[in-house]
Structure 1
Amino acid sequence: MSIALKDKVGRYGIWNVGLRSEDPALRPEIADAAAELEELGYGAVWLGGNSAPANALPLLDATSRLTVGTSIQSIWQHDAQAAAAAFAEVEKAHPGRFQLGLGVSHARIAEQYRRPYSALVEYLDALDAAGVPSGRRLLAALGPKTLQLSADRAAGAIPYLVTPEHTARAREILGEGPLLAPELKVVPETDPDRARTLAREVLAMYLTLPNYTNSWLRLGFTEDDFASGGSDRLVDALYAWGDENRIRARIDAFFDAGADHVALQVVDGTPMDKLPREGWRRVAALLA
């Protein structure tokens, strides 16, 4: 992929579920939050959960430079032809500012789940036929095969719930050109017990999903690390928590490992359907 996308997204972005809300009553707050994120210096917003191109429009309408991407759009819940048409509509309104992040989700969530890698390849074939450029899509890749697919058939990878060690392995597979933009959860809390409690409240759901646990096993964790809400070792590997220096050092570790961009998810006790705006401000200040 060209350097242009790396320049557009910058070094830091925000990953959030609440920003993809389709509730009309929340659109003004979402628009205001997007404008503030741009003002704070974030280069991209990644819409968490099963998001779609239409979810990006309120944020794009409210900003002038921000890149907005889905993280992710499930290939099982969005037909490829419909996804291509939706992409075209967003592209017409805001040329070059939307990235279609795709993933295979999880067997526990998607009833149609079967042969996920082959299904993803077929989905990309359909997007090719519908005219969605490979440089405008990213893949939620964890394993080696899908990471290679991210290099061959997309603009890069947006891995979720990974470590700097995974980032280093991903960079080796992707090579230098494709975008590598891992997600990292940030807990702006210095008390270890409080920080890990907040982390485990979010981590609990992911501990039941084999795509993630298998990824962690490949990184050297064991089944014991998945018990009782996750071991301290696992939590500390997947989250950045502590004072400003410790959080900044943890983020920098991903760049040292080969990341181009880090999508930061603030975990501060704010409900998932709400916007942790004060947390975003605090993180922006420590990054500055």
Structure 2
Amino acid sequence: MASHPALGTIGVWTGALHSTDPAKHPRVREAAAEVDELGYGALWLGGSPGPDEAAFLLDATSRLTVATGILSIWDHEPGYVAERYAAIDARHEGRFLLGLGVSHGTMVERYARPYSAMRDYLTALDSAPTPVPASRRVLAALGPKMLELSRDHAAGAHPYLVTPEFTASARETLGSEALLAPELKVVLDTDLERARATARGYLSFYLGLPNYTNNLLRLGFAEEDFKDGGSDRLVGSVFALGDAEAVRRRVDEFLAAGADHLAVQVVTANTFEDIPLEAWRTLAEALPLRG
């Protein structure tokens, strides 16, 4: 069994620091450095990043782990990923975590047999001239078979858009040793109606992706829960809404359910554009960053 990466208890999940625009790079570097200084254990880079986008954030930080959240196996050949991983790890030993996922059929033209494709991809990483160690990769796993693959051929799982109940079930599948690092969406707003509206504005995209809705159906939600950006019950299950204390209570639910690490995503009206530094500062004071 692979050992856990050094992630601490709480990390930041964000797509706002994924930018190929050089004009934005100084601001992105400064924000990543502050996440590091605040004491978060990991920075999960959203927006289907490649290894070089993660390397940019590693160069801007000195302590925390930077993870791809999630690199699509359809976008990057395994030989290239293994080569880039080796080069990046040589500069930042032990701080790069490779998060891998199969994306979605509606977003990938050649999407087919996702479980087999992931299994073959991991085999190719193992067979590369410089393999990517199983202990330095996690999978975006939702279904039982992908969770088992995460347990047996990676450090563990990084599931997205899940609940404490899913977390408890995933822990049973993974066993006690594998890493379980779910993502949790947060809206820091004490006006709960406005917070729900912000959440629905973001959630509506994901409710059009069968990988997520099928998992939510397995958890006991119904098709009616997916209408109009999500029912109150669904929004309340996959988001933390309210002030920092309310977020802390939701975080504690996930940790009690078996999560080793929680990747907290601050959701705003423009989640992939806003860099929510003030929210990250607030949460750093309220959450158990290092356990």
**Shorter-normalised TM range:** over 0.9
Q: Is the 8 A contact 1:30 1:58 kept in 2?
A: no
Q: Is the 8 A contact 1:15 1:48 kept in 2?
A: yes
> Which residue of structure 1 aligns with residue 202 of structure 2?
202
Residue 229 of structure 2 is aligned to residue 229 of structure 1: yes
> Which residue of structure 2 aligns with residue 107 of structure 1?
105
Deviates more, 1:161-170 or 1:264-273: 264-273
TM (norm. structure 2) is 0.95
The one of 11, 18, 21 aligned to 1:20: 18
**Aligned partners of 1:274, 1:225: CA distance in 2, in Å?**
28
Residue 132 of structure 2 is aligned to residue 132 of structure 1: yes
Q: Which has the higher helix share?
A: 1
1:282 deviates by 1.6
Deviates more, 1:29-38 or 1:160-169: 29-38
**Aligned partners of 1:79, 1:4: CA distance in 2, in Å?**
25
**Aligned partners of 1:206, 1:35: CA distance in 2, in Å?**
30
1:137 deviates by 0.5
**Aligned partners of 1:244, 1:282: CA distance in 2, in Å?**
7
> Which residue of structure 1 aligns with residue 192 of structure 2?
192
1:227 deviates by 1.0
**Aligned partners of 2:69, 2:276: CA distance in 1, in Å?**
18
Gaps of 5+ in 1: none
**Aligned partners of 2:157, 2:242: CA distance in 1, in Å?**
28
Q: Is the 8 A contact 1:40 1:281 kept in 2?
A: yes
Q: Is the 8 A contact 1:171 1:258 kept in 2?
A: yes
The one of 72, 75, 87 aligned to 2:73: 75
Partner secondary structure for residue 19 of structure 1: coil
**Aligned partners of 1:183, 1:271: CA distance in 2, in Å?**
15
**Aligned partners of 2:220, 2:213: CA distance in 1, in Å?**
11
Q: Which amino acid aligns with 1:167?
A: T
Q: Is the 8 A contact 1:107 1:113 kept in 2?
A: yes
1:2 deviates by 5.4
Q: Which amino acid aligns with 2:13?
A: W
Q: Is the 8 A contact 2:200 2:229 kept in 1?
A: yes
> Which residue of structure 1 aligns with residue 213 of structure 2?
213
Q: Is the 8 A contact 2:3 2:155 kept in 1?
A: no
Q: Which amino acid aligns with 2:166?
A: H
The one of 30, 50, 60 aligned to 1:62: 60
Over 2 Å off, 4+ runs: 1-4, 268-271
TM (norm. structure 1) is 0.96
The one of 96, 107, 111 aligned to 1:98: 96
Residue 260 of structure 2 is aligned to residue 260 of structure 1: yes
> Which residue of structure 1 aligns with residue 178 of structure 2?
178
Partner secondary structure for residue 13 of structure 1: strand
- Greater relative contact order (CA < 8 Å, ≥ 6 in sequence): 2
**Aligned partners of 2:268, 2:122: CA distance in 1, in Å?**
36
**Aligned partners of 1:213, 1:89: CA distance in 2, in Å?**
38
**Aligned partners of 2:184, 2:29: CA distance in 1, in Å?**
24
Residue 87 of structure 2 is aligned to residue 89 of structure 1: yes
> Which residue of structure 2 aligns with residue 119 of structure 1?
117
Percent identity of the aligned residues?
Answer: 57
> Which residue of structure 2 aligns with residue 277 of structure 1?
277
1:270 deviates by 3.7
Gaps of 5+ in 2: none
**Aligned partners of 2:185, 2:95: CA distance in 1, in Å?**
24
How many positions carry a matched residue from both structures? 286
**Aligned partners of 1:95, 1:148: CA distance in 2, in Å?**
27
> Which residue of structure 1 aligns with residue 242 of structure 2?
242
Q: Which amino acid aligns with 2:106?
A: R
Residue 41 of structure 2 is aligned to residue 39 of structure 1: no
1:285 deviates by 2.0
**Aligned partners of 1:4, 1:171: CA distance in 2, in Å?**
14
* CA-atom RMSD in angstroms: 1.2
